[in-house]
Amino acid sequence: MRPTLRIRACGRQLHCLQQTLRRSRCPRDRLRAQMVLLSHRGYSPQQIAAFTGQSDETVRRWLHRFRGGGCPGLREAPRSGRPPKITPAVRQLLRQWAQLSPRELGVQRPTWTTANLARLVERLVGVRVTPECIRQHLHRLDFVCRRPTWTVKHLARQQPGYPQKRGRSPGCCGTRRAAPTSTCRTRRS
């Protein structure tokens, strides 16, 4: 049988563990702090494993990690992963492009869509991204993407007294739609 592993936390460490348990946004950090606090209160690694739903080995690993590194040793370490396709330079280009008319960049559309911006990024920068990726990055840049709203407001502005459409007339099978209004706007405007 393994030797009993017990942690004794001192004043500052105990305060740090309690703060982590109460305030950390990362559930894994809270779980680790809870393991150490339970050990401090006299529970064995087997009992802590039963309380937390973790294996005995996992509890021992985190108790050893706390013993060696204190509270900072319990924190979530940066994880490796695929580098982002949208670099800060491309993000800056997206910001500039979203504020321009598509026609200024050679896209024959009245307004931007995320699909059009994704194709433009692929054509001009050589990075293939999905429209959803573009939408997420525009959201981070404080742009709101929404579906185009089809209106005839441009006709009303051109001709004073132009009657506004109130609904479908009987026998009408459909009308030609006007160009959509802008789909990319900043939240501030």
pLDDT tens, the chain, 189 aa long: 677 788 888 889 999 999 999 998 889 999 999 999 999 999 999 999 999 999 999 999 999 999 999 999 888 878 788 888 888 999 999 999 989 988 898 888 888 889 999 999 999 999 999 999 999 999 989 888 776 666 666 666 666 665 555 655 554 444 444 444 445 666 655
**What are the boundaries of each domain within the chain?**
11-74, 84-148+179-189
Q: Which residue's structure tokens are 């001192």? A: 10
Residues 97/105, Cβ–Cβ less than 8 Å: yes
Q: How far, in Å, are 43, 140, 155, 166 from residue 181 at the CA level?
A: 64, 22, 13, 19
Residues 112/180, Cβ–Cβ less than 8 Å: no
pTM for this prediction? 0.47
Residues 76/26, Cβ–Cβ less than 8 Å: yes
Contacts of the segment 28-32: beta carbons below 8 A, 24+ positions apart: 28/76, 29/74, 29/75, 29/76, 32/62, 32/65, 32/66, 32/74
